[in-house]
């Protein structure tokens, strides 16, 4: 006689070990302490008044089959050492819903383990959270709120506005390979244990391809880093993308806002920020963004990337609080990037942006940093501020890499250094190219730009520069001023270590005393030297189509190493004069016009006798002084060039020469 199916089911259940849950749909509306299991296409629900509370080490809900769905509107707790939800088989298409658009009180909580863990690589899972997932982690053993780190299939975490994903002394969220995190709520990890470390908001670990979208109301907060991840090894590729919307916040409470550990150019990060990214170092480093490898960072006009502090123990050297530290790539900034230091912290300095590779921790170079892993371009757009409150705004500190550093400081943008010793922009051995039409403020230290031993160039298109400009120790450095016709640029600082300084356009004024020994070339526009001997006497003057003007130069005027005329040019002397140590190139057919020459004095002089020099004679023929031709005399030391005397002056000169001749003849007869 066949037994009823209910009897067969009873016997099968009786044969199972005590405490093992069977796979079946479930709907809990009251209180239950029975662990549940879901298999293929099954659904488990906990109603708004329902409570599933499991103790011991048993998982509250185990998933063993594909297309399962868990929906919680009430409370699911694991009060012992087990997880709330776990898959250990690699299920596909698991959907976990905690709360709903009308229910933000739903709770999943683990006392001493992960809230949700997907333990196998081939799984696919989506979490939709409107309520709270909390890992209390009482044993401080590294229990996450969400752990998808082993997943290689599609994995998505959606934390909606009002939702909370929280872990204590552990990472809050670990996405899997190519995982996606969409956050409009709060993702939080905090550190409680005295020796606490780790505890990041989102930790990609070594999983490449992770995408994090922090939306307008989203907060990602790490007890250490807000968001972190790492390149597995030097041979592995690692990519990550983070987008922080306006109103979103990413913050590291004892680390970086975003920290990415890597080895080389195979680590690539894309970071787009419209909100706030902050780091704070309470007992260590604390950068806004620290990307060891390559990064493409865009900080919009509403974006702030800020390091609040960094710490090192006394005697351990300075700590550096850096808005951004990266190993190459690009930064486009229209907002604020800055490094600050907490009040009273005298063992740290704040930098805006540091360009360097990894720290070198062993060997003879220990304590220094590797060079860049790629070219680096920093574009500071109108309204953008890059600031170091007690050190450089932008500094390259790594070893020579062979890559080029390009800094574009657009009109309306500002680069501001701080402290008493560092320039606002400081270079290293790499080639550095600077184009600025904005503000470079090095007034704190008196140094605006201080470059290294590379082949460097600075181009000024407008704006203001406060502090000295040092081209570096290389021998091929150039400075170009090209503000455009009719536009003005005035500079009161000192210029040093350039092989050529060229004015191409605009009305340019130098009032500081410069020491560069390279050429000064005027190819267009005008250069006003306000004061005597504003430029080094070792500089060669090349007149290639521009205008030189002296004001307040007195009798001393201005001396140059040599004079070349390669284009039609003019000089306004302001009653002063020019002295040249030699004559350079004179191009036939080019004219030189002097005005404001002192009456009765020379306009310029050349060291030596040039009366038989063909190039000099060609120059004289092409020179006009105060509207008339030029004449020259040799006084035994200098060949002096002055305006051709008026006719009456000629008569007096000839009479004087005749008198000199008569006196000479009388002395001969005596």
DSSP per-residue string spanning 114-153: -SEEE-STT--EEEEESSEEEE--TT-S---SEE-TT--S
User: How much is the pLDDT for 192?
Assistant: 86
**Within 13 Å and on the Cβ side, how many CA atoms surround 286?**
31
Q: For residues 345 and 313, what is the distance between their CA atoms, to the nearest angstrom?
A: 11
User: How much is the pLDDT for 21?
Assistant: 58
Neighbouring CB atoms inside 10 A of 48's CB total 15
Neighbouring CB atoms inside 10 A of 402's CB total 11
Mean pLDDT of successive 10-residue stretches along the chain, which has 670 residues: 38 40 90 98 99 99 98 99 98 99 98 98 98 93 94 98 97 99 98 80 99 99 98 97 99 98 97 99 93 98 98 88 98 99 94 92 79 98 98 95 98 98 98 99 99 98 99 97 98 99 99 98 99 98 98 96 99 98 98 96 98 98 98 98 74 38 36
**DSSP code for 402:** S
User: How much is the pLDDT for 51?
Assistant: 99
**DSSP code for 330:** E
Domains of the chain by residue range: 21-152+159-173
Using DSSP, state whether 61 is helix, strand or coil. strand
User: How much is the pLDDT for 196?
Assistant: 61
User: Is the Cβ–Cβ distance between 50 and 30 less than 8 Å?
Assistant: yes
Using DSSP, state whether 246 is helix, strand or coil. coil
User: How much is the pLDDT for 652?
Assistant: 39
Q: For residues 455 and 322, what is the distance between their CA atoms, to the nearest angstrom?
A: 26
Helices (H) and strands (E) in the chain, counts: 3, 67
List, in sequence order, the alpha helices (H) in 494-593.
none
User: Is the Cβ–Cβ distance between 545 and 524 less than 8 Å?
Assistant: yes
Q: For residues 354 and 363, what is the distance between their CA atoms, to the nearest angstrom?
A: 23
Q: For residues 398 and 376, what is the distance between their CA atoms, to the nearest angstrom?
A: 13
Label the pairing between strands 628-634 and 638-643: antiparallel
User: How much is the pLDDT for 107?
Assistant: 99
First to last CA, the chain: 168
In sequence order, the β-bridge partners of residue 476 are none
């Amino acid at each position: 006689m066949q037994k009823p199916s209910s009897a067969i089911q009873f016997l099968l259940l009786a044969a199972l070990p005590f405490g093992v849950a069977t796979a079946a749909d479930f709907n809990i509306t009251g209180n239950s302490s029975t662990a549940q299991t879901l298999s293929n296409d099954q659904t488990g629900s906990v109603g708004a008044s329902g409570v599933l509370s499991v103790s011991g080490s048993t998982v509250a809900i185990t998933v063993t089959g594909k297309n399962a769905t868990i929906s919680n509107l009430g409370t699911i707790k694991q009060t012992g050492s087990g997880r709330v939800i776990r898959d250990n088989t690699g299920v596909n298409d698991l959907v976990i819903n905690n709360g709903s658009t009308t229910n933000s009180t739903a709770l999943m909580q683990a006392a001493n383990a992960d809230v949700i863990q997907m333990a196998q690589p081939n799984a696919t899972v989506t979490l939709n959270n409107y309520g709270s997932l909390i890992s209390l982690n009482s044993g401080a053993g590294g229990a996450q709120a969400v752990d998808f780190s082993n997943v290689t299939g599609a994995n998505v975490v959606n934390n909606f506005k009002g939702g909370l994903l929280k872990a204590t002394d552990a990472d809050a969220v670990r996405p899997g390979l190519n995982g996606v995190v969409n956050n409009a709520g709060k993702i939080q990890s905090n550190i409680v244990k005295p020796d606490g470390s780790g505890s990041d908001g989102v930790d990609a670990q070594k999983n490449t391809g992770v995408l994090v979208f922090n939306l307008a109301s989203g907060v990602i907060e790490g007890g250490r880093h807000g968001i972190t991840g790492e390149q597995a090894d030097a041979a592995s590729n690692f990519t990550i993308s983070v987008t922080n919307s306006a109103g979103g916040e990413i913050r590291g409470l004892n680390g970086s806002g975003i920290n990415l550990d890597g080895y080389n150019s195979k680590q690539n990060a894309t970071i787009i920020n419209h909100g706030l990214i902050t780091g704070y170092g309470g007992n260590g480093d604390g950068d806004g963004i620290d990307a060891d490898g390559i990064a493409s960072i865009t900080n919009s006009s509403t974006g702030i990337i800020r390091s609040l502090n960094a710490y090192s123990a006394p005697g351990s050297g300075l700590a550096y609080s850096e808005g951004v530290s990266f190993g190459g790539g690009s930064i486009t900034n229209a907002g604020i990037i800055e490094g600050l230091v907490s009040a009273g912290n005298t063992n740290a300095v704040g930098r805006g942006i540091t360009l360097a590779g990894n720290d070198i921790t062993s060997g003879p170079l220990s304590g220094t940093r590797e060079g860049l892993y790629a070219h680096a371009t920093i574009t500071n757009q109108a309204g953008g501020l890059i600031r170091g409150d007690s050190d450089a705004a932008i500094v390259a500190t790594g070893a020579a890499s062979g890559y080029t550093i390009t800094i574009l400081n657009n009109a309306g943008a500002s680069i501001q250094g701080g402290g008493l010793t560092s320039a606002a922009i400081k270079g290293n051995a790499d080639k550095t190219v600077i184009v600025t039409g904005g503000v470079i403020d090095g007034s704190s230290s008196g140094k605006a730009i201080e470059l290294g031993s590379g082949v460097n160039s600075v181009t000024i298109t407008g704006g203001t520069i406060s502090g000295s400009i040092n081209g570096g120790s290389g021998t091929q450095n150039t400075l170009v001023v090209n503000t455009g016709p009719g536009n003005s640029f005035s500079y009161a600082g000192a210029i040093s270590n350039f092989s050529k300084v060229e004015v191409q356009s605009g009305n340019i004024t130098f009032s500081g005393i410069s020491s560069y020994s390279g050429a000064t070339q005027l190819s267009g526009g005008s250069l006003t030297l306000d004061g005597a001997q504003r430029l080094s006497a070792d500089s060669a003057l090349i007149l290639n189509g521009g205008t030189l003007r002296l004001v307040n130069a007195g009798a001393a005027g201005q001396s140059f190493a040599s004079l070349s005329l390669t284009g039609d040019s003019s000089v306004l002397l302001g009653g002063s004069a020019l002295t040249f140590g030699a004559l350079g190139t004179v191009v036939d057919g080019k004219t030189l016009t002097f005005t404001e020459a002192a009456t009765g004095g020379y306009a310029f002089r050349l060291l030596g006798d040039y009366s038989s020099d063909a190039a000099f004679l060609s120059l004289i023929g092409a020179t006009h002084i105060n509207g008339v031709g030029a004449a020259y005399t040799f006084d035994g030391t200098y060949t002096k060039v002055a305006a051709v005397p008026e006719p009456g002056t000629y008569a007096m000169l000839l009479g004087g020469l005749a008198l000199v001749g008569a006196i000479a003849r009388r002395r001969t007869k005596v």
